[in-house]
């Protein structure tokens, strides 16, 4: 699943090319139309396809920003603000093209599910192979309450204090530290990849309970998460499987990862181990991480 750095890369790529553009019309694939007709909330969430397609024309994209792992498209129509929230799920990707033939990877071209036709015959295309992503049109952020429960951005001044306060709550103190830092209510945007990397860099076992880690080590871990996230942003994110930035561009951070997806430890050379923590497979070194 794309994490904070990957979503940030998408936002930075989208900002200069679609900000200020006006949506002329919207097309939705037959796959999504059929799924919605059968009662499945496929990609377009909280509204039927017809209402979604009818609402967006003549809305102008005024600003794009990232919030945790979400993309916020700030829209306006006749002076009234709206918010289109996008989550990439496991395999979502955005493309800015003149026609679908410009999408080079067939797997994305075949799964182009929502097409926003913009002025000058440009197309903003949302493709999603597994269809776990979402597009949610809101009047305001508060209309979808889960968005208000996200932790502060890890780069914000209050993020560390929030993280430390959450670590003392009874519901978290007996959890594995890996599960704790992947919780979006605790740290925004840190998923399996970067939690794995930060824990390995500090030699902390992913299953160690939160209450068994000192405040000093918790602070070190939070700071390491920030360092890893910033490093990944600068390197275009990690293309592990289906992640792509705009128009199929891959990231480079996967070449800098020390532990995620590795068969052996880069420090001691021993075979890495795996354990399911928080429903995710955690890779770690049983010798170096304690």
pLDDT value, residue 238: 67
Asked if the domains 4-149 and 159-284 are classified in one and the same CATH topology, the answer is no
- Greater confidence, 153 or 6? 153
pLDDT value, residue 254: 75
3-state helix, strand, coil in the chain (%, to 5): 35, 25, 40
Choose, from 208, 209, 262, 280, the residue flagged as catalytic: 280
- Greater confidence, 17 or 236? 17
The answer to whether residue 119 is catalytic is: no
Among 1.20.58.220, 3.30.1490.20, 1.10.8.50, 3.40.50.620, name the CATH number for the domain at 159-284.
Answer: 1.10.8.50
pLDDT value, residue 256: 83
For the stretch 32-67, pLDDT in tens is: 999 999 999 999 999 999 999 999 999 999 999 999
Contact in structure between 120 and 275 (CB atoms under 8 Å)? no
The answer to whether residue 67 is catalytic is: no
pLDDT value, residue 27: 98
Report which of 177, 194, 197 is spatially closest to residue 186, judged by C-alpha positions.
177
Q: Please check the confidence at residue 247 and state whether its pLDDT lies above 90.
A: no
Q: What's the pTM?
A: 0.93
pLDDT band at 236 (very low <50, low <70, confident <90, very high): confident
**Tokens 């208000």 map to which residue?**
148
The answer to whether residue 206 is catalytic is: no
Superfamily of domain 4-149: MutM-like, N-terminal (3.20.190.10)
Choose, from 3, 134, 179, 224, the residue flagged as catalytic: 3
Choose, from 21, 36, 69, 136, the residue flagged as catalytic: 69
Contact in structure between 273 and 284 (CB atoms under 8 Å)? yes
Encoded tokens for 184? 């979006």
Distance CA 190, CA 2 (A): 10
- Mean of pLDDT values over 144-152: 98
pLDDT value, residue 182: 97
Q: What are the extents of the domains in the chain?
A: 4-149, 159-284
pLDDT value, residue 276: 95
pLDDT value, residue 240: 55
The answer to whether residue 16 is catalytic is: no
Dihedral-angle region of residue 269 (phi above 0 means left; psi in -120 to 50 means alpha; beta otherwise): left
For the stretch 258-274, pLDDT in tens is: 899 899 999 999 999 99
Q: Please check the confidence at residue 2 and state whether its pLDDT lies above 90.
A: no
Q: Please check the confidence at residue 250 and state whether its pLDDT lies above 80.
A: no
């Amino acid at each position: 699943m794309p994490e904070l750095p990957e979503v940030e890369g998408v936002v930075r790529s989208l900002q200069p090319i679609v900000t200020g553009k006006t949506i002329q019309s919207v097309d939705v694939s037959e796959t999504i139309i059929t799924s919605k007709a059968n009662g499945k909330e496929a990609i377009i969430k909280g509204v039927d396809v017809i209402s979604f397609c009818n609402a967006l024309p003549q809305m102008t994209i005024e600003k794009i920003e990232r919030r945790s792992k979400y993309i916020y498209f700030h829209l306006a129509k006749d002076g009234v603000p709206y918010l289109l929230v996008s989550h990439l799920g496991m395999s979502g990707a955005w493309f800015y093209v003149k026609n679908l033939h410009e999408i080079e990877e067939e797997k994305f071209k075949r799964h182009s599910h929502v097409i926003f036709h913009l002025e000058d015959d440009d197309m903003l295309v949302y493709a999603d192979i597994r269809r776990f992503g979402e597009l949610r049109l809101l009047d305001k952020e508060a209309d979808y309450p889960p968005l208000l429960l996200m932790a502060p951005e890890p780069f914000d001044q209050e993020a560390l204090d929030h993280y430390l306060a959450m670590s003392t709550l009874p519901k978290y103190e007996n959890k594995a530290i890996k599960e704790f830092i992947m919780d979006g209510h605790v740290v925004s945007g840190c998923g399996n990849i970067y939690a794995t990397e930060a824990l390995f860099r500090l030699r902390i076992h992913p299953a160690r309970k939160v209450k068994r880690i000192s405040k000093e080590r918790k602070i070190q871990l939070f700071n390491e998460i920030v360092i890893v996230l910033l490093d990944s942003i600068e390197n275009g994110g990690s293309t592990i499987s289906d992640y792509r930035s705009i128009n199929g561009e891959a990231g480079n951070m996967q070449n800098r990862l020390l532990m995620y997806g590795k068969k052996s430890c880069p420090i001691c050379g021993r075979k890495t181990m795996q354990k399911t923590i928080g429903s995710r497979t955690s890779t770690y070194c049983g010798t170096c991480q304690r």
